[in-house]
């Protein structure tokens, strides 16, 4: 699996599938994790996205958190502390709901990257601040489809368990 992931990285870089500087920068940041297999690349995340669409209600292009029973929504009102606020929210949710039991987690964004990352949970905590620096919407989705966390560029943070 690790060797296959190394080949994926080479293919993405060599075949010029990188569509923007965000992807190039991200791959540089994650290079060691990708090489040792702690992060995998899904070039076609259609199945993952379809799973999210099937399990959560949407309003336009965003999850309609009002329709997710028991969801938790907060907002970071200060741009300067946004990433820190997001990390505090993330840690609180992970601790309170004991989400560490998932070995792998999907990291998805709103199309700034042409791929989805599959990240070991223990690794995600260390690199999430770097991922959150990219100006986009971020989604952390349970590998088994049980829950999702979102961080939006507008400062919104939300968590909920799947409806189905």
C-alpha–C-alpha distance, residues 44 and 47, integer Å? 8
pLDDT value, residue 119: 94
The pLDDT of 104-120, averaged and rounded, is 86
Number of folded domains that form the chain: 1
pLDDT value at 13 more than 50: no
Per the model's pLDDT, the better-predicted residue between 43 and 15 turns out to be: 43
- How much is the average pLDDT of 126-136? 88
Judged against a pLDDT cut of 60, whether residue 17 lies above it is answered with no
Over the stretch 151-162, which tens digit does the pLDDT of each residue have?
A: 988 889 999 999
pTM, 2 dp:
0.84
Exposed/middle/buried for residue 155 (C-beta within 10 Å: 0-12, 13-18, 19+):
middle
For residue 11, what pLDDT is reported? 54
- pLDDT at position 4, please? 52
Range of the domain at 40: 2-161
The stretch 2-21 carries a mean pLDDT of 53
Instruction: Quote the CA–CA distance of 94 and 163 in Å, as a whole number.
Output: 19
């Amino acid at each position: 699996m690790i060797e296959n992931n190394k080949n994926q990285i080479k293919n993405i870089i060599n075949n010029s599938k990188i569509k923007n500087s965000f992807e190039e920068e991200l791959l540089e940041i994650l290079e060691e994790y990708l090489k040792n297999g702690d992060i995998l690349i899904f070039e076609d995340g259609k199945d993952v996205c379809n799973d999210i669409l099937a399990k959560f209600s949407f309003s336009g292009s965003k999850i309609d958190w009002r329709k997710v029973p028991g969801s938790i929504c907060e907002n970071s009102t200060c741009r300067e502390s946004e990433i820190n606020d997001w990390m505090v929210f993330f840690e609180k949710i992970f601790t309170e709901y004991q989400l560490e039991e998932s070995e792998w987690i999907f990291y998805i964004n709103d199309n700034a990257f042409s791929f989805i990352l599959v990240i070991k949970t223990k690794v995600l905590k260390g690199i999430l601040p770097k991922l959150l620096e990219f100006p986009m919407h971020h989604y952390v989705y349970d590998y088994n489809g049980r829950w999702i966390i979102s961080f939006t560029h507008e400062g919104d943070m939300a968590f909920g368990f799947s409806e189905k």
